[in-house]
Structure 1
Amino acid sequence: MRLSYNLNLQQTQKLVMTPELKQAIEILQYNSIELKSFIQQELVNNPVLEPHQTKEETSNDAEKDRASQDDIIDIKKLFSEYDSFKSKNRIRNYEEKEETSYDNYLSTETTLIDHLLFQLQFAMLKDKGKKIGSYIIENINENGYLKINNEEVCNKFNVEDSEVENIIRIIQTFDPVGVGARNLSECLTIQLEQNNVVDEVIYQIVENHLKDLASNKINKIAKKLDVSTERVQEVGDFLRTLEPKPGRLFSTSRDTRYVTPDVTVEKVNGEYLVIVKDTTAPRLSINHYYRKLLLNNEMEEKTSLYINKKLNSALKLIRCIQQRRNTIYKVVKAIVNYQIDFFEKGVIHLKPLTLKEIADEVGVHESTVSRAINGKYMQCPRGMFELKYFFQSGVSSAFGEGVSAESIKTIIKDLIQNENSKKPFSDQAISNELNKTGVKISRRTVAKYRDELNIPSSSKRRRY
């Protein structure tokens, strides 16, 4: 056996994750909020970048620099790659008004704690009693329930349990009705007492049979209380008119989360147009001052290297953001073309769709489509939808076409809304009804979709 050393030339191909490719992937996956934050950080770190100026701003700059027209021509040559890229990849020019949020102009809103402390000032309590009352109020959660026990308050203020209980009873008379309760039964009882309800059957159900009532075990409750099922059902209907979470009446507008659409789909002359909004990804440009500075031959070498480095970084970022816009546009356009029946006829005509089908249509990888739809929203004539909403699983039909899960949920919802409340459809009955229309679906799948719609089972929907 002979061992020897040889030199060979071999040509291979391999995928290298360049910094620019890595940045493009990250930017594509950002939602509108993350992208805005990222761009703001880049504007701070890179002085060469600046937000794209409006027509009025650019005209003012042109008047200021009219004397240096020759220099501007040279700069255009220097940035020919940047300018040509913008012109080649422009999708459409839409004039968009700057969206203004008025959230910062809202006045201070009264919270539940503030409202209760205000009422405490007028309670017939001494100084120590008001301190105890203030402590108790500050331990009431956003739903209006008291989350500490009497023993903790007694140990903190060195008082008797009866005194603490008396202060809690006073707080429970405050507005909103039912506040300060320690559980649901006590909350409903407070509301019944303040509404001057005297029916003992109602109090017994609230105190001992709320779980059975929630499970619609009407016969069991009626048998224990020796009343008719109709009477128990009437009590249940009345109790549902009460407020189980009195504190939520004081929920502030800050609890509301607004969604800014990344894409708008509009129907113009029978055609659906896809508009990638500039407000979610502000356009960037190169700072005019640094363009002029690069023409200065007397500039130091270190300064020139620094500006060129920042310039290359800025051009890459602009290219990545424009590429993100192009990818999102192509993906959304493909989705609109595939789900055209949804936009024309409604949710029931939504088709099953996979990432691979859109990836093959656009000519990209499935992971690229997944990143392009991640956290993105579409505003269309039928409402606001997350892009993931259009990628539905489904079942086959007797006609050879797929039916999306969302379409089946809509059919199930309609069937239950129109059912006989005294004989509601079971999951098997719903499955049979769908099979009659050509939709092949099992009882288990019906139960799964029903749970996702937060619709109770047939035994809980039954009326007597």
Structure 2
Amino acid sequence: MEHKQQLELAQVLKLSPTLLQSMGILQMTTLELADYLQDLALENPVMEETPGARETAWDAFASRVPWLAGERMASGGPAVGEPGRRDREPESLAFFLVEQLDRQGLDQPLLAVCRYLVDLLDDHGRLAPEDLADLTQAGVPEALLEEGVAALQSLDPAGVGARSAGESLALQLKRQPGDHRVALAICEKGLDLLAREQYGALARRLGVPRKQVEAAAQAIRALDPNPVGAWAVQGETEYLRPDAWVAEIDGTLQVFVNQWDLPQFHLSPAYLQMAREDPGGEAADYLRQKIQQARWVLQCVRRRQETLTRCLTALVAAQEDFFRGRTSVPGPLLGRELAETLGLHPSTVSRTLGHKALQCRQGVFPLGWFFGRAVGEGLSPQGVQARIAQLVAEEDSRCPYSDQELMERLQAEGIPVARRTVAKYRQALGLPPSYRRKR
């Protein structure tokens, strides 16, 4: 086998670590970038934070925008709660139920079973049948367990301690005055048909007139499917912080990139002096590496702000009618079109605007909401959704439009959409199908 050497010329794309870092910083949200800079400053002693600059700059900006008056800066620390707010919050459901049990004078074995059942309740205040079966297998007498369940179901709120959704509704009905025999029968063996609003089939199953079924259905709908919702465990509220604001100042739409939530850093003069005084030392070599890293990161942050400002300025110009309030939804716009306007690569625009949010006087929106292909006569997907919502709002509730009928009406208006597209947009709007909108 003969070995030969051959020289070839080829173009190969290689991404250096610094370029990858620059791309990563470009696509970070403001809060992600703030965390990144804070973590980097912990391992890079050359980076020193400039205190006090962010709050002053935010106050100066917010004072120029009327609809931002009184809004606090997210980086200013946790919001101070209203005095006495915690005292007004409801106690836990377990505390509320045990407090009622203690006042009933139950004997000790029954009270112990009831307390244990309280700990088994799920987020809807219900007991799982398998948990009760486990207690029976563990040696708890079945009669005592049933007595404990009955005691728990007698507590407030009505519906607590139920073993199913139907039983929860039935417990609420039993505490209301009047004859609810048909409604109780529906809760026991007709919730599947009630959910589909098949009143005729439900009447035949129960052997009662349809009018009685409709009246019972109305009574059931007035009940609370989650009677312990006020005690539901809620996680910590997550706040969406915009990456930029668009405000009209002196008749001109202006873009303000969020720099108030970013810690402001500068290079430590002391470490810069140490690197200059000992150019050949080991410590100086370490400091020079850290100085180079800090300068590159801060330069990437500046580039990110400049690129984001350029992209958002072009976006605002393309969607000026929306930002000035002339239209309720943005017009059609593609990222490729914005990239051509700016002379940037489409991937750069995508990285810059992806996963970020913008706030204007209409509200807070993800930046992806402002992009969409044209549908029909210059409408955006958001415009088509708005038209669907309008048609549904104006329809006859006794004969609501099906997806096919909505498609035909839109096509008659020059909006070429398929039925499956109508169904997708309707679901995105949270609108139920026609048979569930019928009244």
Distance in 1 (CA, whole Å) between partners of 2:333 and 2:100 is 57
Q: Which position in structure 1 is the counterpart of 2:25?
A: 27
Q: Which position in structure 2 is the counterpart of 1:325?
A: 305
Asked if 1:412 corresponds to 2:388, the answer is yes
Which of these residues, 166, 187, 191, is aligned with residue 147 of structure 2? 166
Say if 1:220 and 1:38 are closer, same or farther in 2 by CA, change over 3 A: same
Which of these residues, 240, 248, 267, is aligned with residue 267 of structure 1? 248
Q: Which position in structure 1 is the counterpart of 2:163?
A: 182
Which of these residues, 122, 132, 140, is aligned with residue 141 of structure 1? 122
Q: Which position in structure 1 is the counterpart of 2:35?
A: 37
Distance in 1 (CA, whole Å) between partners of 2:431 and 2:165 is 22
Asked if 1:379 corresponds to 2:345, the answer is no
Distance in 2 (CA, whole Å) between partners of 1:343 and 1:228 is 56
Asked if 1:443 corresponds to 2:427, the answer is no
Secondary structure at 1:378's aligned position in 2? strand
Secondary structure at 1:265's aligned position in 2? strand
Say if 1:7 and 1:437 are closer, same or farther in 2 by CA, change over 3 A: closer
Q: TM-score normalised to the size of structure 2?
A: 0.85
Whether the 8 Å contact between 1:355 and 1:369 is mirrored in structure 2 is yes
414-423 vs 214-223, greater mean Cα deviation: 214-223
Secondary structure at 1:294's aligned position in 2? helix
Distance in 1 (CA, whole Å) between partners of 2:40 and 2:292 is 13
Secondary structure at 2:317's aligned position in 1? helix
Distance in 2 (CA, whole Å) between partners of 1:393 and 1:243 is 42
- Provide, for residues 182-222 of structure 1, a one-character-per-residue CA deviation record: whole Å limited to 9, x for no partner: 21101101111122343212112222221212112122223
Asked if 1:458 corresponds to 2:439, the answer is no
Q: TM-score normalised to the size of structure 1?
A: 0.81
Asked if 1:432 corresponds to 2:408, the answer is yes
Q: Which position in structure 2 is the counterpart of 1:80?
A: none
Secondary structure at 2:150's aligned position in 1? helix
Q: Which position in structure 2 is the counterpart of 1:311?
A: 291
Q: Which position in structure 1 is the counterpart of 2:14?
A: 16
229-238 vs 307-316, greater mean Cα deviation: 229-238
Q: Which position in structure 1 is the counterpart of 2:68?
A: none
Distance in 2 (CA, whole Å) between partners of 1:231 and 1:216 is 14
Alpha-carbon distance, 1:383 to partner: 0.5
The total of aligned residue pairs comes to 420
Alpha-carbon distance, 1:316 to partner: 1.0
Alpha-carbon distance, 1:93 to partner: 12
Distance in 1 (CA, whole Å) between partners of 2:425 and 2:112 is 51
Q: Which position in structure 1 is the counterpart of 2:66?
A: none
Whether the 8 Å contact between 1:189 and 1:206 is mirrored in structure 2 is yes
Q: Which position in structure 1 is the counterpart of 2:137?
A: 155
Alpha-carbon distance, 1:45 to partner: 0.5
Alpha-carbon distance, 1:345 to partner: 3.9
Distance in 2 (CA, whole Å) between partners of 1:114 and 1:394 is 56
Q: Can you give the 5+ residue segments of structure 2 that lack an aligned partner in the other structure?
A: 63-71
* Root mean square deviation of aligned Cα: 3.0
Say if 1:393 and 1:204 are closer, same or farther in 2 by CA, change over 3 A: farther
Distance in 2 (CA, whole Å) between partners of 1:93 and 1:192 is 55
Whether the 8 Å contact between 2:30 and 2:258 is mirrored in structure 1 is no
Whether the 8 Å contact between 2:48 and 2:265 is mirrored in structure 1 is yes
Whether the 8 Å contact between 1:347 and 1:410 is mirrored in structure 2 is no
Distance in 2 (CA, whole Å) between partners of 1:56 and 1:248 is 40
Which letter maps to 1:256? T
Q: Can you give the 5+ residue segments of structure 1 that lack an aligned partner in the other structure?
A: 58-91
Which of these residues, 239, 246, 271, is aligned with residue 258 of structure 1? 239
Which letter maps to 1:437? E
Distance in 1 (CA, whole Å) between partners of 2:307 and 2:216 is 58
- Provide, for residues 96-118 of structure 1, a one-character-per-residue CA deviation record: whole Å limited to 9, x for no partner: 77443435867486333343344
Say if 1:116 and 1:359 are closer, same or farther in 2 by CA, change over 3 A: farther
Output aligned runs, 1:219-238, within 5 Å: 219-225=200-206, 227-238=208-219
Say if 1:244 and 1:48 are closer, same or farther in 2 by CA, change over 3 A: same
Distance in 2 (CA, whole Å) between partners of 1:175 and 1:276 is 51
100-109 vs 257-266, greater mean Cα deviation: 100-109
Q: Which position in structure 2 is the counterpart of 1:72?
A: none
Same amino acid, percent of matched pairs = 28
Which letter maps to 1:249? A
Alpha-carbon distance, 1:365 to partner: 2.5
Whether the 8 Å contact between 2:31 and 2:262 is mirrored in structure 1 is no
Whether the 8 Å contact between 2:110 and 2:147 is mirrored in structure 1 is no
345-354 vs 314-323, greater mean Cα deviation: 345-354
Alpha-carbon distance, 1:429 to partner: 1.7
Say if 1:121 and 1:355 are closer, same or farther in 2 by CA, change over 3 A: farther
Say if 1:151 and 1:124 are closer, same or farther in 2 by CA, change over 3 A: farther
